[in-house]
Structure formats: C-alpha cells, structure tokens
C-alpha cells in the first residue's frame, strides 16, 4: 500500500496520447497485376499486392505470423522478363513489374505442385489443399496406385544418397505409421507436405526451442527431432505452436486424433469462442473449440497482438480441469 500521499490520486492525464516513434512513410511502387495498375508500399510482397486487388493467391507454406520460406511453390506467379515463375509470398514488389497470376503457365505449375503433393501425401485432413486441387484440376491419380506405406521408423532411417530410384510402377508416397509418443499431440507424417511451418514456429519465428528440423534429402526429407528421438526425449516443450501452423493436420491434438479415430470428430457440431487464458498474467487469447460442451481443441487468432497466434503448453493443453475427471481437490492460490 502506498504511504506516499501525493499518489492517493491517479496521476494527471498527459497532454498528448503516448505514441510510438514515427516511422517514415515507405515509398510506393507502381506495378501491373493481371493488366490492372496498382500502387502499393515498397516493402510489400507480390502476395500482399495481389490481396489488395482481391486476388486469392493459393498458399500452403505461407502464414502471416511466420517468415516466408517459399518452399511449396504454389503461390508462384508469372513475372514478365523473368526466366522462372516467382513466389508471390516472398518476392517484394519492384517498380514496373508486370505480373500475371492466372496464366496457363501459372495454372499448370500450380496444378503440378498439387498433383505431386496429392499423389505422395495424405491430404484427407487438409481442406485448403483439397480446395486448391479442385480449383486447378489436379489429378494425382494419374501417377498410378500409391506405393505400400513404409514400416515404422523406415523413412526416418534413410540416409542421403542411399535410396533407389523408383521403377514407376506405383506412386511414391510418404505414407507411414502415425507417431503417438505422448498424451498431448500426435505426428502423422504421412500427411506432411514439408512446408517448414512447424520448424519455423519451433524456431526463431516464435518459440525458439529448435526441437525439430528437416532431416534427409530429396524425397527422403522429413521433419525430425534431433537424432529422431521420441518427443518426450527431445527439446520439445509442448507449446503446440507447430500444431497451430500445420496446414494439413499432420500435427494434431491427441484429443482430435482420438475423436477422429472413433468417428466422433464433427466440426459442424463445434463452436469456437474466444476468451483469455486462466494461467499467468500475459493475457493470451484462447479460441476454445467446443463440441458437445467439451473443449476439444485450443488455438489463438493470428491477428491478436499479444499472441500472434502462439501459445504455451498450459494455454494450449491445460484446459482439462474444466471437465473434472480424476482431478485432485485443489484450487487457485495467490502468486
């Protein structure tokens, strides 16, 4: 309690509302997209410029809270004078660019990418990728019957330069058993498109834990913990920010995984309500996904300044106490 009587009253209101230091206005750039002239800030990407014209550019590896790694190549656009297609997500606008976003070359490239992904990866829990495949008329089936799945740990043991070229009789896939090694989340790398988002979220873009990275080369490349150890033996701190950014359901809450297995997962019966985490005083927004009056998943909106979509283990997984169960009788102390 204050004993300083001068502070018995709140301090006076400042004459001006506190503001961050003024940033110089970025220069603007004129360019043409699909024949339309557009003027945008010089630090924008082609993706942002397309967005300002209402052009829906497909992306899989891009997310606004992560640094673009431009690996999925589905956002490519045609730039007049450029030898190759350019990734819209990371290429910054330049004066006089003449860009086509829906040319036959762009459509073909996007279609091919989606076919390669669709023929080799299980996209059954990737609604966005499915929608793009339909949009671009991708036919992954034309690569033939899928190859038999790899056995447990088989893909993880592959070393660069040691694989054999496929004989073309079947479509190569990344199909493999689901990794279930803890109670909070599962890793189903048969659904992984190697977009790197989980690596980025675990790394410098958010969590800075660096528990996972890409191991292997070429078609053997895969996301791995250090030395391919199970998660409980790894550096993982179970923030689940990798789940939050995964576009294909390869990383999934254990609760969602089990409900899907039982055929009980039903998003049409789910509500999503934003509230604030009950733990520490940072004030993270939690989006509670509720089915049949039970919390089945927790996410955080990307556009909230406190979290930028990222949470810690308690915020993401620490909700079970609400539903009782075998809890100890215990309560919320001072701290």
Partner 1 sequence: MFGAGGGTNSYREIEETDVILLWGSNARETHPIFFHHLLKGIHNGARLYAIDPRRTSSARWADGWLGLDIGSDIALANAVAREIIAAGLENREFIEHATTGFEAYKQALEPYTLAYAEKETGVPAHAIREMAHAYAKADRALICWTLGITEHHNAVDNVLALINLSLLTGHVGRYGCGLNPLRGQNNVQGGGDMGALPDRLPGFQHVEIAEYREKFDRLWGVPVPPKRGWHLSEMLEAMEHGTFRALYVLGENPLQSEADQALTRHRLESLDYLIVQDIFLTATAQMADVVFPAAAGWCESDGTVTNSERRVQRVRKAVEPPAGARDDIAILYDLARRLGHDWGEPQAEAIWDELRALSPVHAGMSYARLEAEHGLQWPCYDDTHPGELFLHSRLWERPVLGPRVAFHAVEHDPPVERLSDEFPLRLTTGRRLDDYNTGVQTSGYASPMRRGESLDMSPEDADRLGVRSGEVVRVTSRRGGIEVPVRIDEALRPGLTFMTPHFQDEVATNILTIDATDPRSGTAEFKAAAIRVERLGVT
Interaction with partner 1 in 202-221: which residues (CB under 8 A)?
A: 204, 206-208
Pair 28, 95: CB distance under 8 Å: no
Task: Output the six-digit token pair for 197.
Answer: 């988002």
Stretch in the footprint of partner 1 (CB under 8 A) among 68-76, 100-108, 188-196, 290-298: 290-298
Note whether 153 binds partner 1 by CB under 8 A.
Answer: no
The residue among 80, 89, 29 whose CA lies nearest residue 58 is: 89
Can you spell out the DSSP letters for 17-75?
---PPPPPPPPEEEEEETTEEEEEETT-BHHHHHHHTT-----SS--TTS-----S--S
Query: Given candidates 238, 253, 257, 265, which one binds partner 1 under the rule CB under 8 A?
Result: 238
**Piece of 97-105, 111-119, 137-145, 315-323 that binds partner 1 (CB under 8 A):** 315-323
Q: Which is nearer to partner 1, 155 or 289 (CB)?
A: 289
Q: Residue 79 or residue 231: which is nearer to partner 1 going by CB?
A: 231
Hunting for tokens 């089915």 — which residue is that? Answer: 291
Give the binding range for partner 1 (CB under 8 A) out of 45-53, 117-125, 181-189, 191-199.
Answer: 181-189
Total of chain residues touching partner 1, rule CB under 8 A: 81
How far apart are CB 230 and partner 1 at their closest, in Å? Answer: 9
Q: Where are the alpha helices (DSSP H) in the chain?
A: 46-52, 104-120, 127-135, 197-202, 241-245, 254-261, 313-317
Residues comprising the chain, all counted = 335
Piece of the chain touching partner 1 by CB under 8 A; list 30-38, 126-134, 139-147, 286-294: 286-294
23 touches partner 1 (CB under 8 A): no
Q: Per rule CB under 8 A, is residue 330 in the interface with partner 1? A: yes
Query: What are the beta bridge partners of residue 45?
Result: 92
- Give just the sign of the alpha carbon dihedral 91, 97, 102, 106: negative
Q: Which of 1, 27, 37, 148 binds partner 1 (CB under 8 A)?
A: 1
Cβ closer to partner 1: 149 or 318?
318
278 binds partner 1 (CB under 8 A): yes
């Amino acid at each position: 309690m204050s004993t300083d009587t001068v502070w018995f009253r709140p301090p006076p209101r400042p004459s001006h509302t506190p503001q961050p230091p003024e940033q110089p206005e970025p220069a603007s750039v004129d360019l043409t997209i699909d024949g339309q002239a557009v003027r945008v800030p010089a630090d924008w990407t082609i993706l942002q410029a397309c967005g300002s014209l209402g052009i829906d550019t497909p992306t899989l590896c891009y997310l606004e809270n992560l640094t673009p790694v431009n690996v999925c190549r589905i956002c490519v656009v045609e730039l007049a004078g450029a030898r190759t297609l350019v990734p819209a997500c990371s290429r910054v606008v330049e004066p006089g660019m003449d860009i086509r976003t829906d040319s036959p070359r762009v459509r073909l490239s996007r279609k091919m990418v989606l076919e390669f992904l669709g023929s080799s990866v299980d996209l059954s829990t990737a609604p966005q990728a499915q929608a793009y495949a339909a949009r671009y008329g991708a036919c992954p089936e034309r690569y033939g019957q899928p190859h038999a799945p790899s056995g447990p740990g088989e893909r993880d043991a592959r070393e660069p330069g040691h694989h054999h070229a496929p004989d073309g009789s079947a479509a190569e896939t990344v199909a493999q058993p689901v990794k279930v090694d803890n109670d909070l989340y599962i890793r189903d790398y048969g659904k992984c498109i190697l977009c790197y988002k989980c690596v980025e979220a675990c790394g410098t873009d958010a969590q800075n834990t660096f528990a996972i990275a890409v191991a292997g080369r070429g078609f053997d490349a895969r996301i791995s913990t250090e030395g391919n150890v199970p998660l409980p033996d790894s550096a993982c701190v179970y923030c689940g920010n990798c789940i939050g950014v995964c576009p294909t359901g390869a990383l999934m809450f254990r609760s969602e995984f089990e409900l899907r297995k039982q055929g009980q997962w039903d998003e049409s019966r789910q509500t999503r309500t934003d509230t604030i985490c009950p733990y520490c005083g940072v004030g993270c927004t939690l989006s509670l996904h509720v089915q049949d009056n039970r919390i089945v998943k927790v996410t955080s909106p990307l556009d909230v300044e406190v979290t930028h979509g990222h949470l810690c283990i308690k915020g993401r997984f620490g909700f079970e106490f609400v539903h009782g169960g075998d809890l100890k009788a215990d309560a919320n102390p001072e701290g």
